[in-house]
């Protein structure tokens, strides 16, 4: 299982995470990424989660394999 998280101290609101993984991440009131739900990534969304992680300029998107 994969879980996604956003490091709010690193996030600067570029929006790539919620553009690439809109079922996993949404913008907050400031435009920073916020995880939807508990962060569990469904199997059919793992590629999107990995793209979001790889495209974050601040490396604020974190994936954890459990």
Q: Are 33 and 27 in contact (CB under 8 A)?
A: yes
CATH of the domain at 29: 3.30.70.20
CA dihedral 45, 47, 48, 49 (to 10 degrees): 80
Q: Rounded CA gap, 66 and 32, in Å?
A: 25
Residue 62 is predicted with a pLDDT of 98
- How many domains are contained in the chain? 1
Residue 66 is predicted with a pLDDT of 85
Q: Is the pTM of this model over 0.85?
A: yes
Per-residue pLDDT of the chain (66 residues; tens, 9 = 90+): 999 999 999 999 999 999 999 999 999 999 999 999 999 999 999 999 999 999 999 999 999 998
Residue 19 is predicted with a pLDDT of 98
Enclosing domain of residue 28: 2-65
Q: Rounded CA gap, 22 and 3, in Å?
A: 15
Terminal Cα distance for the chain, rounded: 5
């Amino acid at each position: 299982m994969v879980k996604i998280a956003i490091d709010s101290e690193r996030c600067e609101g570029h929006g790539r995470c919620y553009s690439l993984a809109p079922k996993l991440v949404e913008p907050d009131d400031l435009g920073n990424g916020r995880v939807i739900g508990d962060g569990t990534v469904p199997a059919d969304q793992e590629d999107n989660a990995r793209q979001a992680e790889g495209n974050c300029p601040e490396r604020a998107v974190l994936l954890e394999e459990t």
